[in-house]
């Protein structure tokens, strides 16, 4: 009876996984096919579409812009959030509940509404922001903030922050020295995991990028949207390249999170 139940559950799980993977596999096959019309299988396979994609300067520039915006926003979040979380958990631990509410506020407003508000706010700004990467970096910072803060907060709770710093004080270390030489090394895995997971999320963001900058600073998602009317094979190659890059980032983040938990 137990074996029958186990077989049933495995069948259900594998069936769901196969159903979810079917569109991805079909897109991948289509991206390698030279021609696929009314037949069940493609007429042939080729790397032509991937060659066109990676030789397209516009794609490489859009990919580079996305990397710049995402990495800059994440670094800004780390520089600001790590000291803030340290102050909260060491000096004012009761404020953690308030911080949990504040960091979720960006998700309370839909991106379309936020984008329209930012357009109106910065339309008459003394210095140009719309259509530049700086406004994207600011919006991406608010998106990454909850992920970064929550991961760092979990690390602080796991390493007994107050005990470590107090022990460093007893040995003659100042608070800044304890922070840089003892606390930061213990946050390394948690920070890396949150960075990879946040990066994979930010790289797929489209609404802010399309409304606030559009083609004036074309990112990867905007490029994908603008190229949707081209060859289906080329678009499939673009989608699969994007999918595997995100998959690798997510996998790395999950692996680091698991090793950190162990």
CA distance 153 to 156: 5
Q: 143, 153, 146: which is closest to 102 by C-alpha? A: 146
Q: What local confidence, expressed as pLDDT, does residue 137 receive?
A: 92
Residue among 205, 210, 61 at smallest CA distance from 141: 205
Cβ atoms of residues 222 and 210 within 8 Å? yes
> Where would I find the H helices in 33-132?
48-54, 57-91, 96-102, 111-123
3-state secondary structure of 44: strand
pLDDT at site 160: 81
Collect the ranges in the chain with pLDDT lower than 70. 1-3, 125, 257-262
Write out the H or E segment, with its range, that includes residue 255.
Answer: helix 232-261
Question: What residues form DSSP beta bridges with 35?
Answer: 44
Asked if 183 and 86 count as a contact pair (C-beta separation under 8 A), the reply is yes
pLDDT of amino acid 61: 93
Question: CA–CA separation, 236 vs 212, rounded Å?
Answer: 26
Res 173: pLDDT: 84
- Report the alpha-carbon distance of residue 257 to residue 194 in Å, rounded: 8
- What is the C-alpha end-to-end distance of the chain, expressed in Å? 34
pLDDT at 1: 59
Residue-wise pLDDT for 178-228, tens only, equals 888 888 888 887 788 788 888 888 888 888 898 888 888 999 889 988 887
Provide the mean pLDDT of the chain. Answer: 84
Torsion of CA 124, 127, 132, 137, to 10 degrees: -100
Instruction: Give the CA distances from residue 184 to residues 12, 92, 95, 159, 179, in Å, rounded to whole numbers and listed in that order.
Output: 44, 19, 21, 11, 6
Q: pTM of the predicted model, to two decimals? A: 0.82
Q: Which residues pair with 45 in a beta bridge?
A: 33
Residues 6+ apart with CB under 8 A from 233: 30, 31, 33, 48, 49
């Amino acid at each position: 009876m137990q074996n029958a139940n186990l077989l049933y559950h495995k069948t259900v799980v594998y069936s769901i996984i196969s159903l979810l993977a079917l569109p991805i596999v079909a897109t991948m096959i289509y991206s390698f096919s030279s021609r696929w019309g009314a037949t069940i299988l493609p007429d042939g396979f080729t790397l032509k579409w991937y060659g066109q994609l990676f030789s397209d300067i516009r794609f490489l520039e859009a990919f580079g812009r996305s990397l710049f915006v995402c990495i800059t926003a994440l670094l800004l979040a780390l520089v600001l959030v790590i000291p803030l979380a340290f102050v909260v958990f060491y000096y004012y631990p009761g404020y953690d509940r308030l911080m949990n509410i504040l960091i979720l506020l960006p998700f309370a407003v839909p991106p379309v509404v936020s984008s329209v508000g930012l357009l109106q706010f910065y339309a008459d700004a003394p210095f140009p922001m719309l259509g530049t990467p700086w406004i994207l970096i600011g919006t991406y910072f608010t998106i990454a903030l909850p992920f970064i803060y929550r991961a760092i907060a979990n690390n602080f709770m796991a390493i007994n922050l107050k005990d470590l710093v107090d022990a460093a004080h007893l040995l003659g270390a100042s608070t800044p020295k304890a922070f840089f030489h003892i606390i930061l090394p213990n946050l390394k895995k948690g920070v890396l995991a949150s960075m990879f997971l946040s990066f994979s999320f930010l790289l797929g963001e489209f609404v802010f990028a399309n409304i606030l900058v559009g083609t004036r600073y074309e990112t990867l998602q905007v490029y994908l949207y603008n190229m949707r009317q081209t060859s289906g094979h080329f678009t499939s190659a673009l989608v699969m390249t994007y999918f595997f890059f995100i998959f690798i980032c997510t996998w790395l983040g999950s692996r680091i999170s698991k090793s950190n938990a162990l």
